[in-house]
């Protein structure tokens, strides 16, 4: 039987919604949709590049904690509230994945959980 490991972020929303930051099952690592830490300084509400960059930068740490890395990511799913900003999002994505080239999709959605969030990304990696 494949061993399952839940990786928590410590967010109170994990219990409210019944989820965890990531699940590692065998060599598969699935990471929940992640938004940026919008601080109004480094990451502003209207900066799609900065939000995307912040998300991937933070997920790189989650990958490391799970024994993985950016190089092991095989798929990203990008959700945005404004598809016209796709090149800003793409530039930040390519900064991390330009040579890795995971499969990806980018989807415009009507809203995320808070209006300050403009981008949310899910990740799939293969570990080991």
Q: Residue 92: pLDDT band by 50, 70, 90 thresholds?
A: very high
Please report which residue ranges of 38-85 form alpha helices under DSSP H. 48-65
**Res 9: pLDDT:** 87
Phi, psi dihedral angles at 3 (to 5 degrees): -80, 135
Residues β-bridged to residue 106: 78
Are the beta carbons of 64 and 31 closer than 8 angstroms? no
pLDDT average, residue stretch 118-122:
98
Report if pTM > 0.85.
yes
Q: Residue 60: pLDDT band by 50, 70, 90 thresholds?
A: very high
Whichever domain contains 39, its CATH number is 3.30.1330.40
Residue 105 structural domain: 4-126
pLDDT tens for each residue of 28-41: 999 999 999 999 99
pLDDT tens for each residue of 72-83: 999 999 999 999
Q: Is the pLDDT of residue 1 over 80?
A: no
Apex CA 70: angle with CA 15 and CA 12, to 5°?
15
**Res 116: pLDDT:** 97
- How many angstroms separate the CA atoms of 45 and 85, rounded? 13
Q: Is the pLDDT of residue 128 over 90?
A: no
**Res 22: pLDDT:** 94
What's the total number of domains in the chain? 1
- How many angstroms separate the CA atoms of 71 and 97, rounded? 8
């Amino acid at each position: 039987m494949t061993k399952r490991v839940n990786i928590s972020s410590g967010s109170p929303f994990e219990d409210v919604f019944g989820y965890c930051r990531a699940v590692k099952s065998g060599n598969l690592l699935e990471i929940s949709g992640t938004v940026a830490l919008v601080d109004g300084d480094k990451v502003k509400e209207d900066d799609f590049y900065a939000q995307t960059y912040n998300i991937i930068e933070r997920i790189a740490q989650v990958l490391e904690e799970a024994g993985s890395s950016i190089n092991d990511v095989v798929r990203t799913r990008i959700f945005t509230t404004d598809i016209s900003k796709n090149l800003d999002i793409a530039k930040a994505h390519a900064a991390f994945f330009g040579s890795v080239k995971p499969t990806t999709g980018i989807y415009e959605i009507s809203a995320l959980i808070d209006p300050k969030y403009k981008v949310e990304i899910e990740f799939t990696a293969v570990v080991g």
